[in-house]
Amino acid sequence: MINSYINNFPEVMFILSLILLSISADKVVEYSDGLGKSLNIPDFILGSTILAFGTSLPELITSLQAINVDKTLFPIDNVVGSNITNISLIGGMILIFSSAKVKLDKIDIVLLVLVSVAFSGMIFNEKISSYVIGMLLIVYLLRIFLSEKEEEGENQDKDSNNNIITVILIVISLTILFLSADLLIDTVTKLSSKYNLSESSVTLIMVALGTSLPELVLSIIALIKNKVNMAIGNVVGSNILNILIVVGIANTVESLDISGISEAINAPLLGVTALFLSIFLLSAVKLQRIVGALLIIIYGIYIYYALSY
């Protein structure tokens, strides 16, 4: 029955899969955060691991599901498209609508640049190195645990029965996440065939934007609450984990196909990341909005470029 809906109404099923994917990922983050606090896990560890990893779950799940049906180029397209969307579209939006000066720990900026450049280098050489990704992941985890000294977790007593219920809700949310990811892969295949587009183009734009919805929603909420650093921090953390976790795990499961992607993706990825970070760190509030507008324009150019790829 599902297949008939996909064949007859692929656009509707695509939107439905993205909605389910976004909601289920959001619930995983919400319930995991509650469980972590009830177990007295420090706030910094919660924010830097659960939140960032949670918003990277859609990319991870869709990539693993794609590998399961022998679409080994999908994870690379997905992560590259999602990261560019995070930086140019979501990052640009944050800079435009934020009234406060954005400040980030330079260590996080250095890590994002290091990880992004290393990833671009691997794409250029058409070979994903699990060793390099593993070493970068260790560095990132060390940064998290060393920073824990600056955070103090508050003790919160929670009923153990509540914890059991939370675990059940996490499992249910993850199940919906898997099912919606599987639906998304099927609809992408159908849409690319229906509109005579390459699956790579659909993945780079539509899936990447869809799997970036958690970051987008969290950023909007953070902006409303005037927590711009939290919004940008989530984008930075998610981009790092997209490469280290999503690509790392996917490549471990099966060697990823990146042939023919280097010329189309390597330059935009490096360019967007470098442009965002270098100008962003030195900008004043007024220039901050100009940079944000420039990033939105870059995203528009990227969409046009990806469609012609």
- Statement: residue 28 has pLDDT above 80: no
- Specify the pLDDT at position 59: 80
- Go through the domains of the chain in sequence order and give each one's CATH number: 2-307 (1.20.1420.30)
- Specify the pLDDT at position 138: 92
Phi, psi of 98 (to 5 degrees): -85, 135
% of the chain surpassing 90 pLDDT: 4
Q: pLDDT: is 43 or 185 the higher one?
A: 185
Considering only 100-114, 146-160, 202-216, 269-283, which range has the smallest mean pLDDT? 146-160
Per-residue pLDDT tens digits for 85-102: 888 888 888 888 877 666
Query: Taking a C-beta distance cutoff of 8 angstroms, is the pair 299, 92 a contact?
Result: yes
Query: Taking a C-beta distance cutoff of 8 angstroms, is the pair 306, 205 a contact?
Result: yes
